[in-house]
Amino acid sequence: MEGLMIPYTAERRPDTGVSNGTLGIWLFLASEAMLFGALFSAYALLRTSATNWPVSGRAILGTGNVISMTLALFLLTTLVRRAARAASKGRQLQLLLSAGLALCFLGFKALEYYTKSAQGLLPSSSMFLALFYTLTAFHAAHVLGGLVANLWAARGVWTLDEAVTLGRIKALTLYWMFVDLVWIAILVAFYAL
Amino acid sequence: MRVFSTDHKVIGLQYAFTSLAFLLIGFLFILAIRWHLAWPTDALPVVGKLLGETRTVEGILLPEFYLQLGAMHGTLMVFLAIVPLGVGAFGNYLIPLMIGAPDMAFPRLNALSYWLYLAGGLVMMVGFFLPGGAAQSGWTSYPPLADIASMGQTAWLGGLFLLATSSMVGSVNTIVTIVQLRTPGMTFMRMPFFIWAQLVTAFLLLLAFPPLQAAAVLQVMDRVAGTSFFLPTGLVVSEQVLKNVGGGSPILWQHLFWFLGHPEVYVLILPAFGIVSEVIRNITRKPLWGYRAMVGSAVFIGFMSFIVWAHHMFLTGMGPTMGAFFQVTTMIISVPSVIIVTALLLSLYGGSIRFTVPGLFALAFLPMFGLGGLTGLPLGLAATDIPLHDTYYVIGHFHYLVAPGTLFALFAGIYYWFPRVTGRRMNDLLGQLHFWGSLIAMNGIFFPMFLQGLAGMNRRLYDGGRSYQLFDSFGGSFTGQAWSAVLLGVVQIFFIVNLFMSLRRGKTAGGNPWQSDSLEWKAS
């Protein structure tokens, strides 16, 4: 059925007011919200019933890496957002740059996991660390997914219709904003509270 | 026909044949169990000696293997057979045809969802070849047992993760297709009820599966990385205190599991309602009675199904306040189901009913589903659930919903749309034999379960309760159930022969053999 055109892939359907991609990404994010909602519910339940929870998460985790990671994440989201407004050459550059920043984020994350586990701070050491590793790994997997999607969208800049690329960038922007939101929740849950 | 096709019809058929294969495997598992329960000290005929020493002794099932068969029967039937058949196969094949769309909205994601489903199923099945065998902690995989079970449980969790991803991709696709690709003029309230049922189902899968996916990863962490999400402090296993840090909660798993598990019940039943409504509309030769009420009920079921999950957990000591809340929501959610069944029943009134094979399956669905639904009410109330919990009564209840309920609807759908797919009809006599045989056999298997359960028989007893004097009089019921299961197996041969024979030799059907007025018969 390659020959048949699927309607509303890039343009809006008049009566629903959205394109397929826009509706799709919102539904996907709803599903993702349930995923992280469940993880943070587990966090809340296990933390409230925990007998030994560290007084300060920051004291265990340190704050050096986390500032770099936060900056990388927020900067890359801004770049993806701006890619929609740039001319097509700059658009590709910005998508690739933001993919590079995602790679930096993952690098920092890997380094953090490595140094922590070298100090003997493992998922099996305490409930706090178990939750920390699991939730941040879930988040990092989403950064990796976004990285791949960025590269995929960058590849399409030259070959595809502009409307399709713009739709993808719009979806990517929403996705990265969601990833940022989860990151903020992680900061609050493990560093602030 | 390409293997890696993005055509919704090809993917629909891939889903159909894969899920039917899993359905057969799941049935063979339980056939072995039924035989064992009837004659626990006799060798399993034919296959008993072939299964190897890790699974049987002199052809008799070992307790470990008995548990694997039970756990994998439930898993296969729910996750790999009934849901993919109702949603993946019927949904994929029929939704675009019924709403006048060229294909699903995201054809490549559609293919991805099928291949993830197949991979998930195979990963789960690989467990049988790992040391210690497949998952054996029930289809619900409750910790702490599941946390410390053999490697097959990790395979189960990995497979579940893939299945959840598959269903997320598939449900996004279904919702976008239905909302965006309806042909001009087909407003929401003009969509066939089948489409509404698929739409609500897709929302349930989209929002209810992720929590279980998260839980699966947490359980993998417990098993592989040594965390204690579901392990309490000081757990004693085989007279040894576990060395984990503890502080976890087994109840957390139950919450996350049933948050999917209960909407999953409606994921099973809603597509069945959809199929039965189409078949009944066809055999009565008139519109459905109460279409708007049915649509409203389906949507209401969708919302309510997210706030009833803890009625599976009355025994965890949740306390009267929580218990009261979940009892009330459970009683409320039974109302829209009753409305849908009543509307279907009233749709028969005044119709000139044609007793075709799909029609028979659809008609039998109504009382069978009714029996399953009504026997569920005592389980939704804590006071009566507590003695009935984990007895055969529960098994009887949900098998009436899923086997002569949902599965009958799916058979109706297969007989009904077979000519649409192949241009040929299935054989009528073989279909009649399949129907009557299945109806008798299923009641023969499931009805005694109510009596066994009311007597207090636990669902997991390896010897069928023979070590308890209380159950002395129940030996005969197990024998009857075993022969009913054999009969059920025999009549399925009629179905399998019919399916494959009719592909090539069936009577040619013409474009519209049932004289239907709905869109899928008009589209090319």
**Domains delineated in chain A:** 20-49+66-192 (1.20.120.80)
Distance between terminal CA atoms of chain A? Answer: 54
Chain A CB contacts of B206 below 8 Å: 27, 30-31
Residue B287: inside a domain, yes or no?
no
For chain A, list residues whose CB is within 8 angstroms of any CB belonging to chain B: 1-2, 4-9, 13, 16, 18-20, 23-24, 27-28, 30-32, 34-39, 41-42, 45-46, 49-52, 122-127, 130, 133-134, 138
pLDDT average, residue stretch A180-185: 97
* Distance (Å, whole) CA B406 – CA B399: 9
Confidence of residue A1 (pLDDT cuts 50, 70, 90): very low
* In contact, B268 and B336? CB cutoff 8 Å: no
At B126, which CATH number?
Answer: 1.20.210.10
Residue B23: inside a domain, yes or no?
yes
Residue B142: inside a domain, yes or no?
yes
Positive or negative, the CA dihedral B243, B244, B247, B253 is negative
CB-CB under 8 Å, A35 with B211: yes
* In contact, A157 and A95? CB cutoff 8 Å: yes
CB pairs under 8 A between A and B: 131
pLDDT value for B2: 78
CB-CB under 8 Å, A6 with B6: no
Q: Which residue of B has its CA nearest to A3?
A: B102
CB-CB under 8 Å, A130 with B180: no
Task: Of A36-40, B37-41, B396-400, give the lowest mean pLDDT range.
Answer: B37-41
pLDDT value for B188: 96
pLDDT in tens, A73-118: 999 999 999 998 887 778 889 999 999 999 999 999 999 999 999 9
What's chain B's average pLDDT? Answer: 95
Nearest Cα neighbor of B37 from B442, B488, B462, B445 is B462
CB-CB under 8 Å, B252 with A46: yes
* Distance (Å, whole) CA B246 – CA B60: 38
- Residue from the list A16, A49, A134 with its beta carbon closest to the beta carbon of B218: A134
Residue B449: inside a domain, yes or no?
no
In sequence order, the 6+-apart residues with CB closer than 8 A to the CB of B503 are: B422, B424
* In contact, B431 and B498? CB cutoff 8 Å: yes
Q: Percent of chain B having pLDDT more than 90?
A: 88
pLDDT average, residue stretch B159-184: 97
Residue B207: inside a domain, yes or no?
yes
Confidence of residue B524 (pLDDT cuts 50, 70, 90): low
For the cut 60, the answer to whether the pLDDT of residue A14 exceeds it is: yes
Chain A CB contacts of B259 below 8 Å: 38
Query: What range does the domain containing B194 cover?
Result: 1-228+248-259
CA distance A161 to chain B (A): 17
Confidence of residue B296 (pLDDT cuts 50, 70, 90): very high
Residue B359: inside a domain, yes or no?
no
Q: Which residue of A has its CA nearest to B108?
A: A2
Residue B197: inside a domain, yes or no?
yes
CB-CB under 8 Å, A130 with B207: no
* Distance (Å, whole) CA B199 – CA B171: 8
For the cut 70, the answer to whether the pLDDT of residue A4 exceeds it is: no
Beta bridge partner(s), residue B508: B424
Number of structural domains in chain B: 1
Longest CA pairwise span in chain A (Å): 62
pLDDT average, residue stretch B322-334: 95
**How many residues does this entry show for chain A?**
193
For the cut 90, the answer to whether the pLDDT of residue B251 exceeds it is: yes
pLDDT value for B410: 98
pLDDT value for B1: 62
CB-CB under 8 Å, B176 with A23: yes
* In contact, B166 and B113? CB cutoff 8 Å: yes
CB-CB under 8 Å, B244 with A124: yes
pLDDT in tens, B462-489: 988 888 988 888 888 999 999 999 999 9
- Using a 10 angstrom Cβ sphere, with 0-12 exposed, 13-18 middle and 19 or more buried, the burial of residue B406 is buried
* Distance (Å, whole) CA A102 – CA B35: 57
pLDDT in tens, B97-147: 999 999 999 999 999 999 999 999 999 999 999 999 999 999 999 999 999
* Distance (Å, whole) CA B251 – CA B233: 14
Q: Which residue of B has its CA nearest to A5?
A: B102
Residue B17: inside a domain, yes or no?
yes
pLDDT in tens, B28-44: 999 999 999 999 999 99
- Cis ω for the linkage preceding B144 (within 30 of 0): yes
Collect contacts of B326-332 with beta carbons under 8 A, ≥24 apart.
Answer: B327/B380, B327/B381, B327/B382, B329/B304, B330/B380, B330/B381, B331/B377, B331/B380, B331/B381, B332/B304
pLDDT in tens, A108-166: 999 999 999 999 999 999 999 999 999 999 999 999 999 999 999 999 888 888 888 88
pLDDT value for A114: 95
Chain A CB contacts of B249 below 8 Å: 45-46, 49
For the cut 60, the answer to whether the pLDDT of residue A2 exceeds it is: no
pLDDT in tens, B184-229: 999 999 999 999 999 999 999 999 999 999 999 999 999 999 999 9
